[in-house]
Structure 1
Amino acid sequence: MQIIREKRWLYILFFSMLLLISLTLFIHYSIGSVIVNGKSMENSIHDGDKFITSQLAYKWNAPHYNDIVILDASTIPGHELYIKRVIGLPGDVLVIRNNQLYRNKERIEEPYIKERMIDTHLSITVPENHLFVMGDNRNHSTDSRVFSAIDMRKDVKAVVLFRIKPFRQDYD
């Protein structure tokens, strides 16, 4: 009887350790944090703000308008990551005219932008599996107006879940 109890205890210990290791690896590879460096998302997000992100969000869920995403910017010298807002989803027709954004012929209200866009004209249909992203500080942002729509499977590194510094401020 004593041997059976010892074996049961070893099984419980083994599976507990396995569960702990699995959970640790899952959290490590699916949840992250990012500290913002730059002004392209002002007035919503400021230099030094810190966020918790999910690296698996678009693997399980579809993207939504106004999601805040972390992008691979390694193709642009001096940058590793960008933080931007999702403006267009696959199939959307985006037009910027008279400094105003239209999505699928409807004018988009954007209370989160820092200031009106100046001299920007655009017409694009967002390709399949791509997103059109823009910074909230439209006149001082390198975004899809410059580098075009991004591949949501390859270029999106994470989706912002929530702000941890400063916690009280909203970003959408």
Structure 2
Amino acid sequence: MNYNFDSDEAVKKRKKIIKEIIIWTVEIIAVILLAYFLVKYAVEKTTVVSESMETTLQEGDKLIINKLAYRFSKPERFDVIVFKQSGREHSYYNIKRIIGLPGETVQIKDGVVYINDEPIKEKSVVEAINNPGLASEPITLEDKEYFVLGDNRNLSEDSRFANIGNVVFDDIIGKAWIRLKPFNFVNELNPVIETSEETKEETKE
């Protein structure tokens, strides 16, 4: 009985090639799906388009948005968020810092932000506010509403003004996470440097 070894080897080679093609195709599909998932649900790149967050962020800075940040936790005070308000005509993202949280009452008096009648302790270096806008009177935030301000307090359109107003949770794209150039985490930019009493006394001397 004669056995066709050449034919058997050819079949094995064809099966191997088909297997490699299938694996290669699956890997390509997996990479495409992963890239889609990352852009759609995890991270996104954006550009700062105004001076409203100076000196923390400069106009033209490239940022990475963490779009998963608020799927597992709620926004916190002083988070820098990226949002796009529903029904607004402009196509760019707004970038501001959260100051007031749902259920709180916000008011700006004598250039200082008050939350529930208590002045807040700023975590970033900011100027006193010249124009309190709508917040000259107490603003009580509803459920899922956030009061936001730009760090450039006297050159920012934010929750003090009717064209922005309070930001609702569903309009938040994500948390401003990383500044690409020069590289840094956004929450580490422009911090208030706390000085101890001893350091203050030494400075006076």
Both structures adopt the same fold (TM-score exceeding 0.5): yes
Runs of 4+ in 1 over 4 A off after TM superposition: 3-11, 73-79
Distance in 2, matches of 1:166 and 1:122, equals: 39
RMSD over aligned CA atoms reads: 2.7
Secondary structure of the corresponding residue to residue 133 of structure 1: strand
Distance in 2, matches of 1:109 and 1:79, equals: 33
| Aligned pairs, number | 171
Higher share of residues assigned helix: 2
- Following superposition, the deviation at residue 113 of structure 1 comes to 4.2
Distance in 2, matches of 1:102 and 1:38, equals: 26
Distance in 1, matches of 2:91 and 2:39, equals: 24
Corresponding residue of 2:38: 27
Alpha-carbon contact 1:43-1:112 (below 8 Å) kept: no
Pair 77,11 (structure 1): closer, same or farther in 2 beyond 3 Å: closer
Corresponding residue of 1:170: 189
Corresponding residue of 2:169: 152
Distance in 1, matches of 2:178 and 2:92, equals: 21
Alpha-carbon contact 2:149-2:158 (below 8 Å) kept: yes
Higher share of residues assigned strand: 1
- Following superposition, the deviation at residue 76 of structure 1 comes to 5.9
Corresponding residue of 2:4: none
Distance in 2, matches of 1:13 and 1:85, equals: 45
Q: TM-score, normalised by structure 1?
A: 0.82
For 1:124, which of 139, 155, 170 is the aligned residue? 139
Pair 77,24 (structure 1): closer, same or farther in 2 beyond 3 Å: closer
Give yes or no for the alignment of 1:96 onto 2:111.
no
Alpha-carbon contact 1:38-1:47 (below 8 Å) kept: yes
- Following superposition, the deviation at residue 137 of structure 1 comes to 1.2
- Computing the radius of gyration from Cα coordinates, the structure with the larger value is 2
- Following superposition, the deviation at residue 106 of structure 1 comes to 2.9
- Following superposition, the deviation at residue 141 of structure 1 comes to 1.0
Matched ranges for 1:21-100 at <5 A: 21-29=32-40, 30-72=42-84, 80-100=92-112
Secondary structure of the corresponding residue to residue 138 of structure 1: coil
Letter in 2 for 1:150: V
- Following superposition, the deviation at residue 33 of structure 1 comes to 1.3
Pair 167,10 (structure 1): closer, same or farther in 2 beyond 3 Å: closer
Segments of 5+ residues of structure 1 without an aligned counterpart are none
Segments of 5+ residues of structure 2 without an aligned counterpart are 1-10, 192-205
Q: TM-score, normalised by structure 2?
A: 0.70
Q: Tell me: higher relative CO, structure 1 or 2? Use CA pairs within 8 A at least 6 residues apart.
A: 1
Secondary structure of the corresponding residue to residue 29 of structure 2: helix
Alpha-carbon contact 1:54-1:160 (below 8 Å) kept: yes
- Following superposition, the deviation at residue 84 of structure 1 comes to 0.4
Distance in 2, matches of 1:56 and 1:138, equals: 28
Alpha-carbon contact 1:89-1:130 (below 8 Å) kept: yes
Distance in 1, matches of 2:86 and 2:169, equals: 15
